[in-house]
Structure 1
Amino acid sequence: MSASALGRRAAVAAASAALLLALAACSAGSPSEGAATSPTPTAAASAPKPCWAGLGGTTADVSGTPGLEVVLLGSGTRTVVISNQSDGDLCVWLPFARTLLDKGFRVALYNYVGNSGENLQAVVKHLRASGAGSIAVLGGSEGAKASIVAAAALDPQPAALVSLSPEVALQRVPVEPSAAAVRCPALFVTGDDDGFGSTPATKTFYEVSPSTDKKLIVIPGKDHGIELLSHPDVNEAVLAFLAEHLT
């Protein structure tokens, strides 16, 4: 091959190599440009809103009980602390919480992180330390038992207790001794055909409580815990009891 042919082949090879390098550079782009065109959603934007978000409110960690958080809705000096049933969380109480807010009460909601009776005591103590006014405790089923146990243990006892379908024992500990120490105003409610043993237990707790301001409501049917509030007469009685004792 002649020198001139070799020179032409070398020139073509050099030009081809330069073209390939240029194309590779264009297709790769820079890392910073790629990141700028594909933004990652922030954690705040992707996190679901809590069930109570539409009601406003604030949250606070309860000191001394890791993981226990209380949700406060509304304002004022009359606070109703609501304790859950074992098969539900604070979200199931929102319809009744709205009713309480409409009546001018403040509402405190929380989810259990351990012993429900101890959790409730911690929440009430936290609220008192934060300057809350009069406080009532209200709960259904497990929350009804927790409310009795906490009301008996707190000093001073709450301004009012509302217990909807309490059963005989809370985490295998009999509730009757606590009921026998409840001196605060107390409202006990149950169905007359409760399938979880609440009918006789509620009547017993009412009888042994030494409170001089106590009331027992027994309605027909199997409704249990929060279901009792679906009855207008029960709903009205609970609201009236709270209004009478929270100032």
Structure 2
Amino acid sequence: MTRLNARYVSSTVAGVLLALVTACSGDPEPPAEQAQPNLAGASCTGEAAGGTKVAFIGGDGAPLVGIELGQGRTGVVLAHQNTSDLCEWLPYGKRLAGKGYRVLAFDFAGEGGSGDPESPLSLDGEVVAAVEHVRSRGAVDVVLMGASKGATAILTAATSISPPPKALVSLSAPGRFDAMDALAAAPKLQSPALYVAGKADSQFATSAQQLYDATPATSRTILLVDEGAHGTALLSDASGATVTEAIETLLARSAPPAA
């Protein structure tokens, strides 16, 4: 009869037990998912360099990103035009930050560095979320500025923001864009509003006049300049100084910077 070495048996049993324990423990935990990088300002890294990247969730569930500039208790939310991103606003955003405003330029869902919405797209709901973010960062008073579809979004959003914005600036807003109807919102506005468009940008000059006419008489201003620039281009083209002066006159009267 063959005798087994006790040390060999003990070693073999221990090995079998270890294998069983390992098998029962299941597969190892998968590595934790890495956070996605914030791509705010990726197409204008030079302009964005002086700002702070931020992220928040839109009213439609979209993961939104933005660049925050400046400090203070008066916030300015900047909404861009179609097929664009926050970069178009940064040169003027830096000017406002230099005057003492807390500025947030953000990307709408599906544009720039922002993700897609989880529910039907709501650009005005994204503006509301941007206002909530700025207020969470210390802003008490808020101004909304928008270019083209961004202007339609800020006008529509203003009717559902409480307390209402201190001022609204619309550059080349269409009266309607997708599901948004700024013409229907205009009579309900409680904030001083400035409507700007180029006379040669005829469709949008007409919209500016219609929006102005629909806005309560005590809180409206219109500026139609002699050129065809559209949206934020109105800030830098031939009439840029005139447009900038009109905006900053409104701000000084209705929403001065507060430390």
TM-score normalized by structure 1? Answer: 0.74
CA RMSD of aligned residues (A): 2.4
Structure 1 residues 74, 173: CA separation in 2 closer, same or farther (over 3 Å shift)?
closer
Deviations 1:184-214 (A, max 9, x none): 111111111215x111111011111115122
Give, in angstroms, the shift of residue 223 of structure 1.
Answer: 0.9
Deviations 1:66-117 (A, max 9, x none): 4123332111111110000002100121111111112111110111114211
Identity between Structure 1 and Structure 2 (%):
32
Counterpart secondary structure, 2:188? coil
Task: Output the CA distance in 1 between the equivalents of 2:133 and 2:51.
Answer: 20
Counterpart secondary structure, 1:235? helix
- Could you say which residue in structure 1 is the equivalent of 2:51? 56
Task: Output the CA distance in 2 between the equivalents of 1:221 and 1:245.
Answer: 27
Task: Output the CA distance in 2 between the equivalents of 1:188 and 1:136.
Answer: 14
User: Is the contact between residue 70 and residue 103 of structure 2 (CA under 8 Å) also seen in structure 1?
Assistant: yes
Task: Output the CA distance in 2 between the equivalents of 1:127 and 1:75.
Answer: 10
- Could you say which residue in structure 2 is the equivalent of 1:104? 100
TM-score normalized by structure 2? Answer: 0.71
Give, in angstroms, the shift of residue 58 of structure 1.
Answer: 4.1
- Could you say which residue in structure 2 is the equivalent of 1:77? 73
Higher helix proportion (structure 1 or 2): 1
Task: Output the CA distance in 1 between the equivalents of 2:192 and 2:40.
Answer: 40
Task: Output the CA distance in 2 between the equivalents of 1:228 and 1:56.
Answer: 23
Mark the runs of 5 or more structure 2 residues left unpaired by the alignment.
1-34, 110-120
Task: Output the CA distance in 1 between the equivalents of 2:135 and 2:41.
Answer: 28
User: Is the contact between residue 183 and residue 211 of structure 1 (CA under 8 Å) also seen in structure 2?
Assistant: no
198-207 or 114-123, which moves further after superposition?
Answer: 114-123
Deviations 1:9-37 (A, max 9, x none): xxxxxxxxxxxxxxxxxxxxxxxxxxxxx
Structure 1 position 125 matched with structure 2 position 132 = yes
The number of residue pairs the alignment matches comes to 202
Code of the residue aligned with 2:93 in structure 1: it is A
Mark the runs of 5 or more structure 1 residues left unpaired by the alignment.
1-42
Structure 1 residues 63, 163: CA separation in 2 closer, same or farther (over 3 Å shift)?
closer
Code of the residue aligned with 2:204 in structure 1: it is S
Structure 1 residues 178, 55: CA separation in 2 closer, same or farther (over 3 Å shift)?
same
Give, in angstroms, the shift of residue 148 of structure 1.
Answer: 0.6
- Could you say which residue in structure 1 is the equivalent of 2:242? 233
Structure 1 position 220 matched with structure 2 position 226 = yes
